[in-house]
A = this chain, B = another copy of it.
């Protein structure tokens, strides 16, 4: 019940997708790589898409569920972009050949969660409704993910660190200001 096999299948796919495009990967390739029976694959996954789905879900969970306590949002994003840079090939292959939608959805979820967490921490002392924080988080999420997607589209040119430093000026002070300004209205 420890399902090491399931993990092995997922790892094998992650390996393969960083080597070649999705349409060049068969179920047989996957099971051969981890030395198991083809039927065992189908025991765990309905098909190869279900596998990709599960990988996205668990990878997202790894980040969302980790409750990482970053000092700044920039730092958090740097980590994220570094991760993206390391898995450049894999992300690129998935993005190009499987599901742009899924990649965007993944980035949105992960980003939104981190942004919201950060905003809540930064503005804990300001008495504003939750809705406002969530709206603010959505705003920044779309901005960031949009930039990330562009970065993906341009074959990830440029260093992550530069990308991040440019974001700096947009964040510092802005979030607190946005929230308290709305609050001052009535």
Interface, chain A (partner B; CB < 8 A): 1-2, 4-5, 7-8, 34-36
Contact = CB atoms under 8 A, between A and B. Distances in A.
A35 B2 contact: yes
- Give the copy number: 2
Contact of A5 (B2, B34, B35, B36): B2
Given A2-B35, A2-B36, 8 more contacts: A1-B36, A2-B5, A2-B8, A2-B34, A4-B4, A4-B5, A4-B7, A4-B8
Contacts of A5: 2, 4
Nearest to A36: B2
Contacts of A7: 4
Contacts of A1: 36
Contacts of A8: 2, 4
10 contacts: A1-B36, A2-B5, A2-B8, A2-B34, A2-B35, A2-B36, A4-B4, A4-B5, A4-B7, A4-B8
